[in-house]
């Protein structure tokens, strides 16, 4: 029998790395073992945060509109969605000693906004200090993937979002950013997700069972 305790898990990586798929698989596997588990995502996760998500996406899909949000406006919208998500879902669920699985979190902001769009890191850090407090994931899975495999998976999607349409170089830069963020940090686990089998799913589950059993 596993001891009931709060545990915060995050999946990160570029489009087509399988993070949404693996987060769902882990959610179902933990539920089978009777863990009280919550699956959520960013941007989004609550009603208000999902509304902000729609606003961000609509800016990128307005075909007639040439003007886009300034990169700092864009970043502030992401952080506003995160504030709603953290205050109204992540913190309350962790207080109930649940396992929270999140598809994307703060490292995506670093990889895409800081490394990708050159938004100043201290700008984001100062806001995170207020909205996150001491909140940190207990474990972050960085799923790295062959860029050809990533593109192939993305092309199969019926509904594409803004990130699915960035150039190959952007994904390469973002993936390198995720790997650099994870370097020499105990909370991070970097795994290759290029292969199409269930080995990765099993490995992730084994890692989590060991961690939540401590």
Using omega within 30 degrees of 0 as the cis cutoff, is the peptide bond preceding 43 cis?
yes
- 24-42: per-residue pLDDT in tens? 999 999 999 999 999 999 9
- Distance in angstroms (rounded) separating the CA atoms of residues 42 and 53: 8
Residue 154 is predicted with a pLDDT of 76
Per-residue pLDDT for 48 more than 60? yes
C-alpha pair distances (Å), 6 with each of 36, 38, 129, 137: 9, 11, 21, 11
Mean pLDDT of 126-143: 97
| Mean pLDDT, all residues of the chain | 90
Question: pTM of the prediction?
Answer: 0.91
Statement: residue 193 has pLDDT above 90: yes
Q: Output the pLDDT for position 162.
A: 58
Domains defined for the chain, CATH in brackets: 7-212 (3.40.50.300)
pLDDT tens digits, residue range 80-116?
999 999 999 999 999 999 999 999 999 999 999 999 8
| Crossing angle of helices 19-32 and 199-212, rounded to 10° | 50
Residue indicated by tokens 């003007």: 67
pLDDT value, residue 76? 97
Confidence band, pLDDT 50/70/90 cuts, at residue 156: confident
Sign of CA dihedral 82, 85, 86, 87: positive
């Amino acid at each position: 029998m596993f001891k009931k305790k709060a545990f915060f898990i995050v999946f990160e990586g570029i489009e087509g790395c399988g993070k949404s798929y693996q987060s769902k698989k882990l959610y179902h596997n933990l539920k089978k073992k009777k863990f009280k588990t919550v699956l959520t995502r960013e941007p989004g996760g609550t009603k208000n945060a999902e509304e902000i998500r729609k606003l961000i996406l609509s800016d990128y899909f307005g075909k007639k509109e040439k003007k886009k949000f300034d990169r700092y406006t864009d970043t502030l919208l992401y952080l506003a969605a995160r504030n709603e998500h953290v205050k109204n879902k992540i913190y309350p669920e962790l207080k109930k000693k649940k396992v929270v699985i999140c598809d994307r979190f703060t490292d995506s902001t670093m990889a895409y906004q800081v490394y990708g769009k050159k938004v100043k890191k201290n700008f984001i850090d100062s806001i995170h200090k207020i909205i996150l407090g001491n909140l940190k994931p207990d474990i972050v899975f960085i799923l790295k993937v062959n860029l050809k495999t990533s593109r192939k998976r993305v092309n199969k999607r019926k509904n594409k979002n803004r990130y699915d349409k960035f150039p190959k170089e952007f994904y390469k830069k973002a993936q390198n950013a995720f790997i650099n963020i994870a370097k020499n940090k105990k909370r991070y686990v970097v795994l290759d997700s290029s292969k199409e089998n269930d080995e990765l799913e099993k490995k992730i589950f084994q890692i989590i069972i060991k961690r939540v059993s401590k």
